[in-house]
Amino acid sequence: MTGSETTIKAADGGEFMAYLATPASGGGPGIVVIQEIFGVNAVMRGITDRFAEQGYLALCPDLFWRQEPGVQLSDQTEEEWARAFELFNGFDLDKGVEDLGATIEHLRGRGGCSGKVGTVGFCLGGRLAFLTATRTGADCAVGYYGVALKEHTGEEIKCPTLLHVATEDEFVPKEDQAAVHAALDGNPKVKIYDYEGCGHAFARVGGKHYDREAAELANQRTLDFFKTYLG
């Protein structure tokens, strides 16, 4: 596995960076890894590397580039949390989805990619992963503890979608979780797993709510899902 940075052209002009992890084989199906509110930091790069170790060509784009390129925050200080929420509040969701669409097509056309591309996102990225299933050409999508999904359940889901939900998520009220279940449980393209007793970001290694057992279960379900729909 090798890691490097590459440049993607935005649909409306401009360019942004993405971290690329290439499997030892040199190629395979593509996975776009979608950041949390801390940018393309060490955690996201590590996740991207791990997908490459599983044989995927994995790409994590800098979605905060329109505000501040190259953000790499941690979840360890109050100052970094404050900056992360500033970036989150200033984030243009629609432009972010457009940038993900450009990232998907960039990866799909890249040498070594099989042509199939899935997405996986965490927190803000979980919301964006859901929107790649409704607004882009992704072949499949996985969202971990996505926020504000209730706002988007009326959109048509175009590809297989897997959602990991933390039942004690402090950013997603239980009534919102129930609304998402009510809207999507009957959709044959959607599978939702609830992780009882888990808080937001239960799969973030080193995070306050990290739950190793739940994280390993969710991660295995994600790999099985990608194997099914990407090969």
Catalytic pick from 49, 62, 139, 169?
A: 169
Question: Which of 200, 209, 211, 224 does the annotation list as catalytic?
Answer: 200
Q: What is the C-alpha radius of gyration for the chain, rounded to an integer number of angstroms?
A: 16
**Is 12 part of the annotated catalytic residue set?**
no
Asked about 169 being catalytic, the answer comes back as yes
CA distance 181 to 184: 5
- Distance from the Cα of residue 12 to its chain's centroid: 22
Determine contact, residues 40/62, Cβ cutoff 8 Å: yes
Catalytic positions: 169, 200
